[in-house]
Amino acid sequence: MRRVTYSMGISLDGYIVGPDGDFGWSAPDEEDFRFVTDELRGTGVHLLGRRLYETMLYWETADQDPSLDDSMLEWAALWKSLPKVVFSTTLSAVQGNARLASGGPAEEIERLRAEPGEGDIAIGGAALAAEAAASGLIDEYRVRVYPVLVGGGIPFFPRHERRVDLELVETRTFSSRVVYLRYRVAR
């Protein structure tokens, strides 16, 4: 069965975006970027909320940006070809290799797990991940912890979630002092 993963960069105090909407502090360096690219290679489909989808639209045409280096162009090509499912109540259409979700996260994940396919089902966006977590649908949490305190904003973990026991699967420290932590949900 395909794993459902929730992976994002977070501040040490647990936020994916600061109180002013800034997430520039989570811009990966070259080593971290290679790691994120390798993680994307293991993804079969990506579920996104509207805000993250709109943020990531840049990558649908990034191959036309002459300022990008080869590693960024590689990531852009992987992202562009990756199937994406967008959860939104306000969008009427999406671009590229994306489609609007026809149901809630539980229904979409159940359908995707039943389909033949390889690679993880990745979730992006805190609100969408919180909904999936509340239903017990996330199999792995993958966080890249950046050495910064932002003091508020959008938290990686929902505050209302029930207790979830985790097993540490992998750790890695990058030269940038970013720490990667991969946890599997203990079942």
Q: What percentage of the chain exceeds 90 in pLDDT?
A: 75
Q: Is 127 among the domain residues?
A: yes
CB atoms closer than 10 angstroms to residue 163: 4
Domain around 55: 4-14+37-174
Q: Is 52 among the domain residues?
A: yes
Q: Is 113 among the domain residues?
A: yes
Query: If we measure between CA atoms, which residue out of 99, 105, 107 comes closest to residue 126?
Result: 105
Q: Is 30 among the domain residues?
A: no
What single-letter DSSP state applies at residue 78? H
pTM metric for this prediction = 0.91
Judge whether 29 and 176 are in contact, CB under 8 Å: yes
Q: Is 46 among the domain residues?
A: yes
Q: How many domains does the chain have?
A: 1
Question: Tens digits of per-residue pLDDT, 20-75?
Answer: 988 888 888 889 889 999 999 999 999 999 989 999 999 999 999 999 999 999 99
Judge whether 48 and 124 are in contact, CB under 8 Å: yes
Q: Is 19 among the domain residues?
A: no
Question: Tens digits of per-residue pLDDT, 112-143?
Answer: 999 888 999 999 988 899 999 988 999 999 99
Q: Is 97 among the domain residues?
A: yes
Q: How high is the mean pLDDT of the chain? A: 92
Q: Is 27 among the domain residues?
A: no
CATH code, 169: 3.40.430.10
Residue 161: pLDDT band with limits 50, 70, 90: low
Task: Note the pLDDT of residue 137.
Answer: 93
| Strands 140-146, 179-185: pairing kind | antiparallel
Q: Which span out of 55-59, 102-106, 168-172 was modeled with the highest average pLDDT? A: 168-172
